[in-house]
A and B are shown apart, each in its own frame.
Chain A
């Protein structure tokens, strides 16, 4: 199985901050990396697919980059509605594993 490691596990930030979350794969996954946001009690929501493509309807303050084994999710200016948990997921091969999550808190 491909292991996905996110860092940090949690972070504290303020509205307006630039936030960066990283995800590392245990082997190369090309650009088959997706990012999700999950708020308490809700289903996850796809933000970024194929490492850097913005899902329709997702604000442009979210961006993704990377290829191979190292990836980054950036929120350019944190908004109140962005406080949530973020997960990366590789879709390169089965099982399509998730990272352990990064909780973004005030």
Chain B
């Protein structure tokens, strides 16, 4: 069974750094794209970027390029989303999701979400 398990909720102050994780199991971690999706409170879904763990090929939305870093450690089947300096506007739920098949396929498997709260 394919599973994506995300790290727990975080409460941070503006300016702090953060790295959240998404551990895949039940499939070949290096063979499927994993994406990150933001959902701000009461708002819609925003595609942030994706990574192919097999070769670390990474694509970012222009809206998030330079604001976050997506990475993966294939030795432990885990993808990451990190910030070097959080802002209050980063407060949101963040989902990781695995593509159903290839790059052009839908996001067929989702993590449970990680709630990030940034407040002074």
Contact = CB atoms under 8 A, between A and B. Distances in A.
B50 interface: yes
A100 B44 contact: yes
B47 A89 contact: yes
B110 to A, nearest CB: 4
A36 B46 CA distance: 13
Chain B contact-residue range equals 20 to 34
A34 B106 CA distance: 6
A19 interface: no
Contact of B45 (A1, A50, A91, A101): A101
A95 B45 contact: no
Given A36-B106, A89-B47, 15 more contacts: A1-B61, A32-B104, A43-B112, A43-B113, A44-B95, A46-B106, A46-B107, A48-B106, A55-B108, A87-B45, A89-B107, A94-B60, A96-B47, A97-B61, A98-B45
Interface string B21-60: 0000000000000010100000011110110000000011
A83 interface: no
A49 B95 contact: no
A99 B45 CA distance: 8
Contacts of A50: 104-106
B44 A87 contact: yes
